[in-house]
Amino acid sequence: MTDHALPDAETVQAALTSHPGPWGPGVRVLSVRDLSSGLGQAVVLRVSLTAPGRGASLWIVKIPGWGRQTLLDSRDSGLDAREGRFVGSVLPGLLPRGLTTPPDATVLRHHGRPWIVMRDVGAVLQQTWTPEAALVAARRTALLYVPGASRPGLLDAPWLEREGYAAYAHHVDAGHENLDALGHDPLLRTLFTADQVTALHACLDAAESLAARAKGLPVTLVHGDLTPRNAGLDRGGDLVLIDWEHVGVGPVGFDLGTFVSLYRAFGGLGELDEPALLEAYGSALSDLAGTDLRAAAALGFASAHLTWGLHLRLGPGLTALRQGLYRDAPPAQRAVQLHDIRSGCLRALSWAAAG
């Protein structure tokens, strides 16, 4: 996973004790567990610690840029620094009621590298998503419009991501190559019909025009990677969001599109009524903006499916299967990957007319 050894308990304790923070003075680290997903380039550690006068508590320590390059192959030069910039900015404090981030998030530097330390909200994130919860999340996601609307100058910050919908456009060529190779792979040749392959090629070729159209839509603050793994509903119904590496400015509707695109792949139960989710989001957004943004939200939603969603699945997704990365995995796990690629791409095609 990493180019060098993970920080052990002694290293984490040294980092925390050398910087004042909400963990308190005299902190002692009890255990460290690696939670890194292997998809991103950050190390994520769950840390159990205690301090004088306090009981044991769980924290997350995230060290951006620690891991190796993956098949996702991000070309985003600001990726390693962006979440730390977000945590240290005024933006988390401007999120309205209904949206929240992990409590006590703090950025410190240790041995020249930024560390992000925050309370562990794993209990919230581990709850299984349902269509009913997704409907709540759609309305809450619209609230990301509020910080930029109340203080527009904040969206001019140079460190915010600007073209998240094109974050994986560099995988378009690989997507074309993978589609062309399906007919020669006995395990993948039935993934799509010939007509579907033709339509997917056309969507990949439309990447630049889709990006141009997305640029012309009304903008909002976007999380940029709002998937079911990065979100949860707490007991009060607030949407808790983690992993802000892709926070930026993007078209309305985009975040909802990313959530829906990976809903089933990341464990969501049941089938989502996408038009109903889009209507809930668009109506909430329009109320916040004081003007009807439902049509714009539909275009931003479609652009997420047709760019971000397709580029990930047809690029690194199919590449992983073709390279045999799931060769030794249980058949059920491989079937899940195949189903996500097929169903995700077909959902994208269903929104092609809107995009």
**Please, what sign has the CA dihedral across residues 285, 287, 288, 292?**
positive
Q: Provide CB contacts within 8 A for 326, sequence distance 6+.
A: 320, 333, 334, 337
Place of tokens 């299967």: 321
Q: Please check whether residue 116 is in contact with residue 83, taking contact to mean a CB–CB distance below 8 angstroms.
A: yes
Phi then psi dihedrals of residue 232, to 5 deg = -160, 155
What's the pLDDT tens digit per position in 185-204? 988 999 999 999 999 999 99
What's the pLDDT tens digit per position in 197-236? 999 999 999 999 999 999 999 999 999 999 999 999 999 9
pLDDT higher than 90, residue 75: no
pLDDT higher than 70, residue 4: no
> Across residues 53-72, what is the average pLDDT?
85
> Across residues 100-120, what is the average pLDDT?
95
> Across residues 1-17, what is the average pLDDT?
83
Residue 68 banded pLDDT, cuts 50, 70, 90 = low
Residue 324 banded pLDDT, cuts 50, 70, 90 = confident
Q: List the single range of 7-16, 64-73, 249-258 with lowest mean pLDDT.
A: 64-73
Domains of the chain with CATH codes: 9-120 (3.30.200), 123-350 (3.90.1200.10)
Phi then psi dihedrals of residue 44, to 5 deg = -125, 120
Give this prediction's pTM. Answer: 0.94
Residue 329 banded pLDDT, cuts 50, 70, 90 = confident
